[in-house]
């Protein structure tokens, strides 16, 4: 084991950690925002919307994230230049960067997995509680905000923690479209120093720490939310 | 229309390659799944009945595998595994061997699957009601008969949903082997896309092939589940 490369590359790893965390938190944020309506329309609302949401979940949960990422970045990315006017428009600078593609691909994937979880969560809330809210004269939105969503979340926090860890572990895939997170920096070190194992072990160590952090964070959240076993 | 025309062109030219990639993907997924199941059953036994040190090492194995990204594990196990094997072969005076991509992929993904399978099987084994196994003992069943006639049929319905999920994960995880240069569906697709310059079409074809695997295996697992839960009280459909 030779670790003399570490001090030299440590600043790069810090940059990489920042990229990894950004990609992770942005996709969890946007993904979860999408997951709420995706879960909700499968439980209530018009049937055709529910069918679309279910189809979306099947499609994105049934294909590898790597293929989705490449489809977006290489596939759509190769089509965009042929649209006249897009090159001159204000979004063009965004479309030539790799990072937005990764955020979109990861968010869509997170939305599908968590949407599936949220569907079960919304279903598991007892009907009586929703009826009680209605009896109080709550509007649909207030009911969702005050009763349905909090009660649903309470039931699935452990599952969401698991999904978050899985999302974190898929962030290295972004290195295949030139995004240098912790894993990407690790590959650079491996190419430049010809050390095979040490950079990988270091990357693995960082990920174990991050996973631990997520688990602790969610446990803290779970403890803040009163659950039935504590009542 | 343009899109369908070029997709048809792509399939005409690269169809056999896609099929070869698909078959490689299925082979690896199948091998890794079987290996993972074996590790899972043994690991669950070890976690429940094993001694202190066995339990501790199994705990470390499942924790680390489940916390480190699959991509890192694949690279680590691939390089470490091949060089370890060759070093030990040399130490015993044999010639170093080239490890085939299929074998390496199966072993690496199998080890990853094993960690998840261990937890699933352990949960299912622990959930088998004690009274049922005690009844078996009271009937004077031997250990192997007890396992075969009571524990196994009682735990399979509990473990099947998790194991079905694992199969879905492994079919998709095979795509990661593209990164170590193994020619399965994802890498074949990337090559076809690069050569034909039909990126959107190629990746769409691959996505539908993977989706096909998922949908077909979904149906198979549904049938298995129906068979495993026959005679059990129907659970409320959630």
pLDDT computed for residue B237 by the predictor: 46
Q: How far apart are CA B153 and CA B135, in angstroms?
A: 15
Give the number of domains in chain A. 1
Q: Which chain A residues have any C-beta within 8 angstroms of a chain B C-beta?
A: 58-59, 61-68, 70-71, 74-79, 120, 123-124, 165, 168-173, 176, 183, 186, 196-197, 200-201, 203-204, 207-208, 211-212
pLDDT at B127 over 50: yes
Confidence category of residue A56, pLDDT binned at 50, 70, 90: very high
Given CATH 2.40.400.10, say whether it is the number of domain B2-228.
Answer: no
The distance from CA B147 to its chain's CA centroid, rounded to whole angstroms, is: 24
pLDDT computed for residue A124 by the predictor: 86
First to last CA, chain B: 41
Question: Residues A17-29: pLDDT tens digits?
Answer: 999 999 999 999 9
pLDDT at A30 over 90: yes
Question: Residues B128-170: pLDDT tens digits?
Answer: 888 888 898 999 888 888 888 888 888 888 888 888 888 988 9
In angstroms, what separates the C-alpha of B94 from chain A's closest C-alpha?
A: 24
Tokens for B120, please give them.
Answer: 């699933």
Written in H, E and C, the secondary structure of chain A is CCCCCHHHHHHHHHHHHHHHHHHHHHHHHHHHHHHHHHHHHHHCCCHHHHHHHHHHHHHHHCCCHHHHHHHHHHHHHHHHHHCCCCCCCCCHHHHCCCHHHHHHHHHHHHHHHHHHHHHHHHHHCCHHHHHHHHHCCCCHHHHHHHHHHHHHHHHHHHHHHHHHHHHHHHHHHHHHHCCCCHHHHHHHHHHHHCCCHHHHHHHHHHHHHHHHHHHHHHHHHHHHCCCHHHC
Query: Which residues in chain A are contacts of B175 at CB distance < 8 A?
Result: 64, 66-67
Q: Please state, for a pLDDT cut of 70, what percent of chain B lies above it.
A: 95
pLDDT at A11 over 80: yes
Confidence category of residue B234, pLDDT binned at 50, 70, 90: low
- Contact (Cβ atoms closer than 8 angstroms) between residue A166 and residue A27: no
Q: How far apart are CA B14 and CA B17, in angstroms?
A: 5
Q: What is the mean pLDDT of residues A84-88?
A: 70
Q: What is the mean pLDDT of residues B220-237?
A: 76
Q: What is the mean pLDDT of residues A56-77?
A: 89
pLDDT at B238 over 50: no
Cα torsion B4, B8, B10, B15: sign: positive
Please give the backbone phi and psi of residue B227, each rounded to the nearest 5 degrees, phi first: -70, -40
Q: Which residue of B has its CA nearest to A207?
A: B68
In angstroms, what separates the C-alpha of B129 from chain A's closest C-alpha?
A: 23
B71 touches chain A (CB under 8 A): yes
Residue contact A63–B72, C-beta within 8 A: no
Q: Please state, for a pLDDT cut of 70, what percent of chain A lies above it.
A: 95
Higher pLDDT, A28 or A6: A28
pLDDT computed for residue A199 by the predictor: 86
Q: How far apart are CA A157 and CA A154, in angstroms?
A: 6
Q: Confirm whether A1 is domain-assigned.
A: no
* Gyration radius from chain A CA atoms: 21
In 3D, which of B184, B176, B174, B171 has the Cα closest to residue B221? Answer: B171
- Contact (Cβ atoms closer than 8 angstroms) between residue A165 and residue A211: yes
Domain that holds residue A130: 6-226
Residue contact A63–B210, C-beta within 8 A: yes
- Contact (Cβ atoms closer than 8 angstroms) between residue B201 and residue B7: yes
Higher pLDDT, A85 or A218: A218
B75 touches chain A (CB under 8 A): yes
Lowest model confidence (mean pLDDT) among A1-10, A46-55, A97-106, B65-74:
A1-10
Residue contact A71–B203, C-beta within 8 A: yes
Query: Which residues in chain A are contacts of B66 at CB distance < 8 A?
Result: 165
pLDDT at B236 over 60: no
Q: Please state, for a pLDDT cut of 90, what percent of chain B lies above it.
A: 10
What H or E segment, with its residue span, contains residue B126?
A: helix B101-127
Task: Determine whether B88 is exposed, middle or buried from the number of CB atoms within 10 Å of its CB (0-12, 13-18, 19+).
Answer: exposed
pLDDT at B103 over 90: no
Q: Confirm whether A194 is domain-assigned.
A: yes
CATH number, domain with residue A124? 1.10.3720.10
Question: Residues A190-222: pLDDT tens digits?
Answer: 888 888 788 888 888 999 999 999 989 988 888
- Contact (Cβ atoms closer than 8 angstroms) between residue B178 and residue B194: no
Query: Which residues in chain A are contacts of B203 at CB distance < 8 A?
Result: 67, 70-71, 74-75
Residue reference for tokens 């968590």: A114
Residue contact B210–A172, C-beta within 8 A: no
Give me chain B's average pLDDT, please. Answer: 84
pLDDT at A144 over 80: yes
Indicate if ipTM > 0.90.
no
Q: Confirm whether A231 is domain-assigned.
A: no
Task: Determine whether A229 is exposed, middle or buried from the number of CB atoms within 10 Å of its CB (0-12, 13-18, 19+).
Answer: exposed
Query: Which residues in chain A are contacts of B80 at CB distance < 8 A?
Result: 197
Q: Which residue of B has its CA nearest to A122?
A: B238
Confidence category of residue A187, pLDDT binned at 50, 70, 90: confident
Give me chain A's average pLDDT, please. Answer: 86
From the list A74, A120, A212, the residue facing B193 with the nearest CB is A74
pLDDT computed for residue A229 by the predictor: 56
Residue-range domain boundaries for chain B: 2-228
Q: Which residue of A has its CA nearest to B207?
A: A63
Q: How far apart are CA A213 and CA A185, in angstroms?
A: 21
Q: What angle do CA A62, A64, A70 make, to 5 degrees?
A: 130
DSSP assignment letter at B230: T
């Amino acid at each position: 084991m030779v670790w003399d490369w570490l001090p030299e590359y440590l600043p790069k790893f810090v940059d990489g950690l920042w990229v990894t965390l950004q990609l992770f938190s942005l996709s969890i944020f946007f993904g979860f925002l999408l997951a709420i309506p995706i879960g909700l329309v499968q439980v209530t609302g018009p049937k055709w919307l529910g069918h679309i949401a279910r189809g979306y979940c099947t499609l994105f949960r049934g294909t590898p994230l790597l293929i989705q990422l490449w489809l977006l970045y290489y596939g759509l990315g190769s089509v965009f230049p042929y649209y006249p006017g897009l090159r001159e428009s204000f979004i063009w600078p965004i479309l030539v960067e790799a990072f937005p593609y990764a955020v979109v691909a990861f968010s869509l994937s997170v939305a599908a997995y968590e949407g599936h979880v949220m569907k079960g969560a919304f279903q598991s809330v007892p009907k009586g509680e929703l009826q009680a809210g209605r009896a109080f004269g709550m509007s649909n939105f207030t009911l969702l905000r005050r009763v349905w969503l909090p009660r649903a979340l309470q039931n699935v926090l452990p599952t969401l923690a698991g999904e978050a860890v899985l999302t974190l572990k898929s962030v290295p895939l972004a290195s295949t479209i030139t995004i240098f997170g912790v894993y990407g920096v690790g590959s650079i070190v491996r190419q430049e120093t010809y050390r095979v194992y040490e950079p990988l072990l270091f990357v693995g160590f960082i990920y174990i720490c991050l996973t631990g952090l997520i688990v602790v964070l969610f446990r803290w959240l779970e403890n803040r939310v009163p659950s039935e076993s504590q009542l | 229309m343009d899109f369908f025309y070029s997709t048809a062109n792509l399939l005409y030219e690269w169809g056999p390659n896609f099929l070869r990639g698909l078959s490689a993907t299925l082979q690896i997924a199948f091998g890794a799944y079987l290996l993972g199941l074996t590790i899972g059953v043994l690991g669950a036994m070890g976690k429940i009945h094993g001694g202190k040190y066995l339990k501790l090492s199994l705990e470390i194995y499942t924790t680390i595998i489940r916390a480190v990204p699959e991509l890192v594990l694949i690279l680590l196990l691939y390089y470490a595994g091949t060089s370890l094997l060759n070093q030990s072969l040399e130490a015993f005076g044999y010639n170093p061997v080239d490890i085939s991509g299929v074998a390496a992929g199966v072993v690496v993904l199998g080890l990853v699957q094993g960690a998840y399978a261990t937890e699933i099987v352990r949960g299912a084994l622990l959930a088998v009601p004690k009274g049922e196994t005690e009844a078996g003992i009271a009937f004077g069943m031997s250990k192997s008969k007890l396992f075969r006639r009571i524990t196994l049929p009682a735990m399979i319905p509990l473990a099947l949903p998790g194991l079905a999920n694992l199969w879905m994960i492994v079919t998709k995880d095979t795509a990661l082997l593209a990164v170590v240069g193994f020619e399965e569906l994802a890498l074949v697709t990337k090559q076809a896309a690069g050569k034909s310059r039909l990126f959107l079409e190629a990746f769409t074809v691959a996505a539908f092939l993977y989706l096909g695997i998922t949908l077909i295996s979904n149906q198979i697992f549904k049938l298995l589940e129906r068979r495993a839960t026959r005679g059990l009280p129907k659970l409320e459909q959630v």
